[in-house]
Structure 1
Amino acid sequence: MADRLQGKVAVVTGAGNGIGEGCARLFAAEGAHVIGIDRAGADECCDLLDEGATGALFQRIGDRHGRIDILVNAAAFAVFDWTETLSYADWKATLSGELDIVFLATRAAWPWLKASGSASIINFASANARHALEGSPALAHCAGKGGVMAMTRQLAMEGAPHNIRANSIAPGFIKTQATARHLAADPAFAAQVLRKNMLQRLGEPDDIGWCAVWLASDEARYVTGADIPVDAGATAW
């Protein structure tokens, strides 16, 4: 199958690398017209924490295409540090990079999602929103991703009258440029992750991207307000 998203207009934030890049690539392969957004390395460059710039960008996209059928909020930023050494500035930066970045893009896209008549919002929570990972200094990240789960349920309720579905994916550990730094800094970290995984491998961006393809497609037309763990079974026991 190569037409599951045929003709759909998809906006993917964080499309320059990692999970966002994987989603953008698979969406295009499945027939979507993809507009990738990132600070660099994407179709559109934008600081998604700049309210004015974000609003103007989505206005241009909406004016050009008349609608947005799929919004993938993959862009994110987080600082990982232990509670006693985590600065307030880094706490605020992480919540902004996990929550504000989703809010601003979604609010800017909302009129164009309504214009679709059958739209899908895909957000990204995390296994860390469900449980703590031993040895991971992720306090702010856990708070941010827990907030994404709650935000997604609210968006599902507000979007339902406009046939806008909103769901989140909760990835386990995925190998990306960002997580490669954690693996390089602590050679034992991969083994620690695998001890929790039922499936004994680390995830790839495509493992998340295929779930996003399904949520974006009409195959998932009856699915909204859900959070789907894609984590090798790490949160199932």
Structure 2
Amino acid sequence: MKFDEAFSLRGEIALITGGGTGIGLAMARAMHGAGAKVVLVGRREAELQAAVASLGGGAHAFTHDVTDFAGAAGLVERVTRDVGPVTCLVNNAGIHLKKPAVDTTPEEFQAVLNTHVVGAHALTRAVAPGMMARGHGSILFTGSMASIFGIPLVIAYTAAKSAMVGLVKGYSTELAGHGVRVNCIAPGWIATEMSRRALDGDPARKAKIFGRTPMGDMGEPEDIGWAAVYLASPAAKFVTGVTLPVDGGVSVGF
């Protein structure tokens, strides 16, 4: 296999949840650049359309709330009809909750799990049968450092991202024999608009993050995008069930 073929996504159709902004859009941009058609999924129509316009031809938008579990199959059917069969699913949509663990209500805890875990499972089980029938597919999850080490004030998020790693392990063993690979990317601290807003007002937290990151800086959204391209590409055809930290060394640093 030639180099340009190994990392090409030509002929692939990638459905990316939470694809309108931030890391989701960065993954969409990288996959689109590698030759894939990309389908951006989210709740906000205007945001999605702006993202599609920035990407150009081969990009599509579908509004859907991942917590509409019963609607997952219908979304996949619409995408298949209007764009083509989904060959790569990126479970990226998520919500955040910053709150002390003892103050986090069961209802709040469940809401975070519903988005990150149950919503991802609903979409995965909706696309998997088609991938299995075709003998080809890649499913990616956006994980977190919170599944690798403890981070205070995000107990529901930590539980959700840890459960996501379990989904990756379980799905990868069930689907590997059908030509479908399942992997996870665990971003470190990435310089998105959201993270910039949070850290610009909290210099102590910013210093702590930089201090424990061996590379001494935050990553860029495109760092996650290109990792997603690799894991979805033929170059990673023998890679499944892994969680890949893209974190500047923070998960192994001191």
Q: TM-score, normalised by structure 1?
A: 0.93
Structure 2 residue 95 is matched with structure 1 residue 51: no
Q: Tell me the equivalent position of 1:122.
A: 140
Does the 8 Å contact 2:66/2:115 carry over to 1?
Answer: no
Map 1:1-237 → 2, pairs under 5 A: 4-40=8-44, 41-42=47-48, 43-133=61-151, 136-237=152-253
Aligned pairs, number: 235
Q: Tell me the equivalent position of 2:52.
A: none
Does the 8 Å contact 2:69/2:119 carry over to 1?
Answer: no
Residue 185 of structure 1: how far off its partner (Å): 4.0
Q: Residues 170-229 of structure 1: CA distance to partner in whole angstroms, max 9, x if unpaired?
A: 111112233334214423211111111011111221111110000000000000011111
Residue 66 of structure 1: how far off its partner (Å): 4.9
Residue 60 of structure 1: how far off its partner (Å): 1.5
Q: Which runs of 5+ in 1 are unaligned?
A: none
Alpha-carbon distance in 1 for matches of 2:221, 2:198: 16
Judge which range, 148-157 or 82-91, deviates more: 82-91
Judge which range, 17-26 or 83-92, deviates more: 83-92
Residue 78 of structure 1: how far off its partner (Å): 2.2
Residue 89 of structure 1: how far off its partner (Å): 1.8
Residue 121 of structure 1: how far off its partner (Å): 0.5
Residue 152 of structure 1: how far off its partner (Å): 0.3
Alpha-carbon distance in 2 for matches of 1:112, 1:63: 13
Residue 68 of structure 1: how far off its partner (Å): 1.7
Residue 159 of structure 1: how far off its partner (Å): 0.8
Aligned-partner residue type, residue 113 of structure 2: L
Alpha-carbon distance in 1 for matches of 2:23, 2:79: 22
Alpha-carbon distance in 2 for matches of 1:58, 1:177: 30
SS at match of 2:78: helix
Q: Residues 38-78 of structure 1: CA distance to partner in whole angstroms, max 9, x if unpaired?
A: 11222111111112322211112223455221111111112
Q: Which runs of 4+ in 1 moved over 6 A?
A: none
Alpha-carbon distance in 2 for matches of 1:65, 1:74: 20
Aligned-partner residue type, residue 57 of structure 1: L
Alpha-carbon distance in 2 for matches of 1:129, 1:27: 25
SS at match of 1:12: strand
Does the 8 Å contact 2:147/2:161 carry over to 1?
Answer: yes
Aligned-partner residue type, residue 179 of structure 2: N
Judge which range, 48-57 or 14-23, deviates more: 48-57
Q: TM-score, normalised by structure 2?
A: 0.87
Judge which range, 61-70 or 88-97, deviates more: 61-70
Q: Which runs of 5+ in 2 are unaligned?
A: 49-60
Alpha-carbon distance in 1 for matches of 2:107, 2:40: 29
Aligned-partner residue type, residue 150 of structure 2: A
